[in-house]
Amino acid sequence: MKIIYCGDVVGRAGREAVLKNLKYMRQKFAADVIIVNVENAAHGFGVSENIAKTFLNAGADVLTTGNHVWQHRDIVPFLDSSKQIIRPLNYPANSSGRGATEFRLADGRVILIAQVLGRVFMDPVDNPAFAIDNLLRSYNLGKNIDAIFVDIHAECTSEKLAFGCYLDGRVSVVAGTHTHVPTADAKVMPQGTAYITDVGMCGNYDSVLGFEKQAPIDRLCQRYNANKLEVCTHGGSVCAIMVETDDKTGLAKSITPFRIDEKHDQ
């Protein structure tokens, strides 16, 4: 199975970059499934129902979110009604939506997609390792599920690394998001799980994490927080990974990070 995962979409620049490259990515990599993190897709924080539907209608298969998932109230009923968008698994069990979903390919293969939040420098949530353990009790990779993709949306690199090592051999992919900066450690771990600490963002890289530079500079130099963060509206790039798994075992054969700066209109 060939899986593409696009990192955090940040504002209009990120939206346009991904939307104008979805068809191109699917064709170029012969992708079976495309997953997009829409955590910051609406004005840099969260995602609205309309924006989520725009990604799905344009060809994304499943959407992940993160700690800003509740930013726009209209997304809450959509989280409950759609199986193509997930929120972090380790939020309280009575939270709206689902923390994992199964996506069935046209040829009958099924991939499980899940997301957890880290806890270091993040919101207080349930233990991500225990949450994923509870989920995986129902799945046996390569037997009753063809692939398992897990996003860890976290601030701390060591937490992401420990989580990836913890799941090595039990899932197909562990991919980190949230920090918006792509890391250079993509690898297939010893027991066969593809791993990267952070996929990077889909947005404007001539910026501060997808936002116009001046307000962050003011906060750095003057501790002046009155200036509103303004998300970049143009010049976006796509940062993503492509993972190929073995259909017999469900484990990863390869992981390839890639970046697209040119927009390929559909």
- Measured in whole angstroms, how far is the alpha carbon of residue 82 from the centre of its chain? 17
- Calculated CA dihedral for residues 77, 138, 156, 47, nearest 10 degrees: -20
Q: Report the distance separating Cα 231 and Cα 207, nearest Å.
A: 9
- Calculated CA dihedral for residues 260, 85, 250, 253, nearest 10 degrees: 10
Terminal alpha carbon distance of the chain: 24
Structure tokens at 260: 């697209």
Structure tokens at 220: 């750095």
Give the residue numbers marked as catalytic.
68
